[in-house]
Amino acid sequence: MPEEIAVDPKSEDLLNFLRSLPLLKSLNQEEISLFITALRRYRYKAGEVVFKEGEIGESAYIVEQGSLSLDRMGRRIKIFSRGNIFGEIVLFDKQSRTGTVKAINDSTLLQLNRSDLDDETTIPLKTALKIYKELGRQVTSYFREEEELYREMDVLLVQDGGCAPGYNTVTAFITQFLEQAGRRIFIAAEGFKSLVSGQTEDFYCLINDQHIYKSLEHIPGVFFAPPLRDARGAQFRTERYREFMDSEIKKIAAQNIINRKVKVLVGIGGNGTFAGIKQLGEFLPDTIQLFFIPVTIDSDIFGTECIGEHTGVEVGAEKIHCYLADARTHNRCYIIEMMGADGGYHALHSCLGAGAHLAVVASSQIDPKKVAEALKDREYTVIVVAEGYKKEERKANNYNGNAAEYFRDELLAAGLQTRQKIVCEGFSRDIRGASPNNKDIMLAQQMARKLTELILQGKSHLMPAVLSGREYAIPFEKIRTDNSVESDLLGLANRLWI
């Protein structure tokens, strides 16, 4: 906890220090003395946190002594030193903190609460108005610069659809490579939804270089990208925006893109995002370069490795290992639903990686009677069922359960009798929030580099692709989103009667 230190309103050192601050330049001697009475002084030891990212704040701070760091997503992006003010936006309105501030060394801060600034018994209205005027001049200058910054967006990234490990990673590396090539990168705050809204606050400006960031960080929406490299989840995306299927909605998005003078549009995501970007391109002029980056756990883009698939299999296999251990200990038969709407890559490869006993995917032609017979005398079993297994049949039958439960019911209908306790587990979405592993981080770098190369060459309507380490590109018209699994691998994933 910080130590509170008494404030001497008659201290000449403090008075001279406050006179030097731009925020108080319009105040006279008497008004500065009144301002001091609203301040609280705190000493923070090295490592102590002033406030955390995401907290709701109501106080601004002036650094009297020492130095403090501003961290976002675990990375240091700025240093505050003597005379700097931070957290001042909350003096206008209660907002969440956009970063974490902590002391680098022992530091002394002067704290100003919004309630004290608004209390006329502490600071007269005339004095408070002078302070607010200076704060307003500073903040409105930010907004003017914001409008100018977002008037023309060079490269615009759009993420949409289900989350997967690597969204943030590839975004960071795209920013790095393109910025080094002299380009400026922007991103939609909420995928296709933001393109349709088209307001300035719907976009962020991504910066890789710390020096560039320091010169622009005061502008709303400017975001320091390097911390995204190994961050979980997807910082800039939304759930699938189904309204985007409407052509009229796409036309609105296209006009907003044109109005913002976008030169390059890059979609990042799975098969749904690709479909949206491709269709959006029909309403855009040929002068706008169009690209797509595949980020999907289920590897549902054919002809390339997909960012997120390697982490997905690694985490999925580990989960299955845990089920195997529990099944062996308690004589259970686990039937687990895993990702795989059409192809079933994730379910199959996770099954193979963990050594589970059977993988059942959308294309599987399995006789339930044969499986029931194989289970009869077993002590424990783990079966992995892709979420897309017989999805049309389930829908036609108004079946409310998941794919694992449907397969279990098929086994029971086939006469399953076993000493094992049957336990069904639904699709586990925590895999989406896994930290990207080294393979997917490497893949993100390769695709970001290839994308940069294609943009600088003036190419368009291409997807950077990587297969067995080789980098190339696939034209939009040749991209397939039905990444079926290999039948011989399905054979490997059957350990019940082989």
Q: In 3D, which of 306, 273, 317 has the Cα closest to residue 165? A: 306
Instruction: Report whether pLDDT(322) > 80.
Output: yes
- Written as six digits, the tokens of 487 are 């039948």
pLDDT value of position 267 = 96
Q: Cβ-count burial of 301 within 10 angstroms (0-12 exposed, 13-18 middle, 19+ buried)?
A: buried
Buried b (16+ CB within 10 A) or exposed e, 116-147: bbeeeebbeeebbebbbebbeeebeeeeeebe
pLDDT category at 462 given cuts 50, 70, 90 is: very high
| 453-478 mean pLDDT | 95
- Written as six digits, the tokens of 155 are 């490269």
For the chain, list the domains and their CATH numbers: 3-146 (2.60.120.10), 152-307+436-467 (3.40.50.450), 310-434+487-492 (3.40.50.460)
pLDDT category at 142 given cuts 50, 70, 90 is: low
Count other C-beta atoms under 10 Å from residue 43's C-beta: 17
Instruction: Report whether pLDDT(487) > 80.
Output: no
- Least confident segment among 17-21, 22-26, 72-76: 72-76
- Written as six digits, the tokens of 284 are 């855009």
454-457, long-range: CB < 8 A, 24+ apart: 454/291, 455/155, 455/178, 455/181, 455/183, 455/264, 455/289, 455/291, 456/181
Average pLDDT, the chain: 90
pLDDT category at 102 given cuts 50, 70, 90 is: very high
Q: Cβ-count burial of 245 within 10 angstroms (0-12 exposed, 13-18 middle, 19+ buried)?
A: middle
Q: Output DSSP code: residue 434.
A: P
Which positions ≥6 away from 493 have C-beta within 8 Å? 348, 351, 352, 356, 358, 359, 384
What is the rounded distance in angstroms from the CA atom of residue 352 to the CA atom of residue 490?
9
pLDDT tens-place string over residues 67-96: 999 887 666 778 899 999 888 888 887 778
pLDDT value of position 483 = 59
pLDDT tens-place string over residues 387-403: 989 999 999 999 999 99
pTM, two decimals, is: 0.75
Kindly provide the residue ranges of all beta strands, DSSP E only, lying in 304-437, ordered along the sequence: 332-338, 358-360, 381-386, 421-425
- Cα distances from 106 to residues 8, 53, 326, in angstroms, run 20, 21, 51
- Least confident segment among 270-274, 309-313, 420-424, 478-482: 478-482
- Give the helix/strand (H/E) hosting 473: strand 470-475
- Written as six digits, the tokens of 90 are 């909350």
| 105-113 mean pLDDT | 94
Amino acid residing at 134: E
| 419-444 mean pLDDT | 92
